[in-house]
Amino acid sequence: MEELLKKFEDKKPVVVFEWKDEITDAEGWIVINSLRGGAAAGGTRMRIGVTKNEVLSLAKTMEVKFTVAGPPIGGGKSGINFDPRDPRKEGVLKRWYAAAKPLLKTYYGTGGDMNVDEVHEVMPMCEEQGILFPLEGIVNGHHRRDQAGKMKIINQLKEGVPLIVRNENLTPNPNKDYSVGDLITGYGVSETILHYYNIYGGDVKGKRVIIQGWGNVAGAAAFYLAQAGAIIVGIIDKVGGVINNEGFTFDEIVSLFENRTSNFLEADNMLSFEEANEKVWSVGAEIFVPAAASRLLSQNQLDTMIDKGLEVISSGANVPFADKEIFFGPISKSADERVSVLPDFIANCGMARVFAYLMEDTIEMTDVAIFTDTSYCIKNALIKSHSINNSKTNISKTAFEIALKQLV
């Protein structure tokens, strides 16, 4: 795999778009790794400290992800270096999408990502710019339909992504308007764990879980895992954390999900970040879900969790390990060789898979059908990996080899 990986990592991106906001100090990049299939896609994230290299690595990750989720297109990513809690965020995003419009109309598609909401920010802001949907570039560059065919796909996307989830097994609260876009990635992270135990052996019921992050992905993953019988014992995000050695009840997890403040944890008796970061890694859990920013998990944190019985990591975050390498740095390798690492391009492919599903000719436009399709896609990817390597270690390496053979 090393030779394939080196070729993929060393390949220069075909487009690097750099932007400086004229009003604030915001800056951003769009990196398109390739125009495989005539187009590329990747979400828009915003946080303090985003760099061009981070966006590059995420664009390459997206390209790998599309080998699992489809369609067969190139990987891209957008990143904006700006504080998402700044009241000027809306203006920054509007000016960003105005600048990115030529790419978004022709061959690049985007969506929500860290601190940028798909339904409430990306979709309406793109529409204001005359972009029919944030994925119009994929429809034009990859699908290349006539006008009627193009509008059929656009209308399916417009209906499906903001579709409100009412099935009581798929939403924390059927009376609240949680959309497919809000829940699907976290659902996929949870389904990856459930399929892992079904395929490789074991049962998620009674397994203890640590969650890193508390945005849509982390919170939804915790909800679905708790619903399946797992026990959430620790949650940590950038503002603090909560720990319960006996495990939070299902109702407590739902309450924590619903009471988030701007996608951050909000709880009584919440620990400071420093205290939570000192304690959570040694609380003892079989399952770890990194679902915050990229490149956070250190070697020491990994070692501590493994010493306390860690079995599986389901990567809700893209590139969760704190390596400088794009793929398979020393921490990532250490994890993959010692526990079951379910890689980001499988575990968090939910939204990418929904986009691919909604671009198909014949679909069922229901919450159950959309979620079932994502679950099947993830299950199929794990079965392919298991058919080559049925060991509970080196799962990520095996899945990467399958993907790279399609790209290099």
CA max distance for the chain: 58
β-sheet bridge partners, residue 262: none
Q: What is the pLDDT of residues 23-33, one digit of tens each?
A: 999 999 999 99
Contacts of 143 (CB under 8 A, 6+ apart): 149, 150, 153, 359
**Res. 234 pLDDT band, cuts 50 70 90:** very high
Question: Residue 275: what residue type?
Answer: E
Q: Average pLDDT, whole number, for the chain?
A: 96
pLDDT of 365-391, one tens digit each? Answer: 999 999 999 999 999 999 999 999 999
Domain range annotation of the chain: 9-160, 180-407
**Main-chain phi, psi angles of 19, to 5 degrees:** -135, 140
Give the Cα separation of 238 and 153 in Å (integer).
38
pLDDT mean over 246-263:
93
152 contact partners, CB below 8 Å, separation of at least 6: 145
Phi, psi angle pair for 246, to nearest 5°: -85, -15
Q: In angstroms, how far is CA 125 from the centroid of its own chain? A: 21
Q: Please give the distance of CA 60 from its chain centroid, rounded to a whole number.
A: 14
Return the DSSP state at 297: B
Assign 263 a pLDDT band (cuts: 50, 70, 90): confident
At 144 the pLDDT is: 95
Q: Are 318 and 187 in contact (CB under 8 A)?
A: no
Residues 32-90 pLDDT 10s: 999 999 999 999 999 999 999 999 999 999 999 999 999 999 999 999 999 999 999 99
The length of the chain, given as a count of residues: 408
pLDDT at 111 over 80: yes
pLDDT tens for each residue of 305-325: 999 999 999 999 999 999 998
Q: Give the CATH number of domain 9-160; options: 3.40.30.10, 3.40.50.10860, 3.30.420.40, 1.10.286.10.
A: 3.40.50.10860
The DSSP output letter for 38 is G
Render pLDDT for 4-30 as a digit per residue (tens, 0 to 9): 999 999 999 999 999 999 999 999 999
Q: What angle do CA 363, 366, 370 make, to 5 degrees?
A: 65
CATH 3.40.50.880 fits 180-407, yes or no: no
* Cβ(196)–Cβ(383) below 8 Å: no
> Could you tell me the pLDDT band of residue 264, with boundaries at 50, 70 and 90?
confident
Q: Is the pLDDT of residue 231 over 90?
A: yes
Residue 13's Cβ-side half-sphere holds a number of Cα atoms within 13 Å equal to: 24
Q: Binning pLDDT at 50, 70 and 90, where does residue 261 land?
A: confident
Residue 230 and residue 189: Cα distance in Å, rounded? 13
Summarize the confidence of residues 188-213 as an average pLDDT: 98
Structure tokens at 176: 């609240």
Per-residue confidence band for 113, with pLDDT thresholds at 50, 70 and 90: very high
Whole-number Å distance between alpha carbons of 314 and 382: 12
d(CA 33, CA 36): 9
The amino acid at 197: Y
Tell me what pLDDT residue 173 has. Answer: 96
Measured distance CA(364)–CA(193) in Å, rounded: 26
d(CA 143, CA 152): 12
Name the band, by pLDDT with cuts 50, 70 and 90, for residue 326. confident
Task: Quote the pTM value.
Answer: 0.94
Question: In this prediction, what percent of the chain has a pLDDT beyond 90?
Answer: 95
272-304 confidence digits (pLDDT tens): 999 999 999 999 999 999 999 889 999 999 999
Tokens of 265: 């944890």
